[in-house]
Structure 1
Amino acid sequence: MQPTATVLVYSDDANVREQVRLAAGRRPAADVPPVEFVECATLPAVLAALDRGGIDVCVLDGETAPMGGMGVCRQIKDEVFHCPPVLLLIGRPQDAWLATWSRADAAVTLPVEPVEFADALAALLRGRLSVDA
């Protein structure tokens, strides 16, 4: 059985979570394993999933309310031992500086553009899986 990578997707909007799943597909690139998704709509769900372990990459929606993905990113980078890399979904390109402030490893704009998103996710997976190997 082929190993899989686990991607946590945090957004209060089911449509955004669906965009992420569809953009990533079953495998975002040929040289990374197939992905499974853990969907979270609240901060407590994110923290519980990270506490359980096994998350390879987090995708956080910066536009989520009441706790946006940027704040969640900064919090988990401070609080989670060996925090997985974070791909932040931002509302507009001008918000890239906020992604840097939040310590995100990468950022793409909403709405999700499939090729850009899959490339960014695959790059984070490659980095994470090479560290774990």
Structure 2
Amino acid sequence: MQATATVLLYSDDANTREQVRLAAGRRPAADVPPVEFVECATPEAVVRELEKGGIDVCVLDGEAVPMGGMGVCRQIKDEIFRCPPVLLLMARPQDAWLATWSRADAAVTMPVDPVEFAGALAGLLRGRAALAG
């Protein structure tokens, strides 16, 4: 198992970013590595960080402004070679079809439920580790 997993977190809202960090904790599950967050407040910063490499999972805020996480997800799935898996934060369960349209790998609703979020993040990290292994 790698030493740490790097999670890109996109939201223009500092409170949302804090909710996500607190929900994930240091390690979202016992069988995945501890996580470190790279925080981005703009879509341009997301693309820059992904182009650098080293990101294991992206967490995107579907309600971010000026570009929501669903649009950012669709863009990075099209533009980033070997794009890491994406966990989308949605405002309403009824938006699940939009998460599918954006090609997100998983989605959870806001406000962030720590158990649901940690489980979804851990699942994507396990999948990423299986691909790397």
TM-score (norm 1): 0.98
Aligned to 1:94: 94
Q: Supply the RMSD in Å over aligned alpha carbons.
A: 0.7
Give 2:30's aligned residue.
Answer: 30
Residue 88 of structure 2 aligns to a residue whose secondary structure is: strand
The question of 1:127 aligning with 2:127 is answered yes
Q: Distance in 1 between matches of 2:118 and 2:97?
A: 22
The structural deviation recorded for 1:130 is: 1.1
Aligned partners of 2:88 and 2:59: how far apart in 1?
Answer: 6
Tell me by how many angstroms 1:84 deviates. Answer: 0.2
Deviations 1:71-119 (A, max 9, x none): 0000000000000000000000000000000000000001100000000
Give me the whole-angstrom Cα distance separating, in 2, the residues matched to 1:13 and 1:132. Answer: 32
Match of 1:83 in 2: 83
Q: Partner residue of 1:62?
A: 62
Kindly state the Cα deviation for residue 129 of structure 1 after the two structures are TM-superposed: 1.1
Identity %: 81
Unpaired stretches in structure 2, ≥5 consecutive residues = none
Which contiguous aligned blocks of 4+ residues in structure 1 show a shift greater than 6 angstroms?
A: none
Indicate the SS of the match to 2:29.
coil
Aligned twin of 1:14? 14
Mind listing any 5+ residue stretches in structure 1 that lack a counterpart?
none
Letter in 1 for 2:58: C
- TM-score by length of structure 2 reads 0.98
C-alpha distance in 2, partners of 1:15/1:92? 18
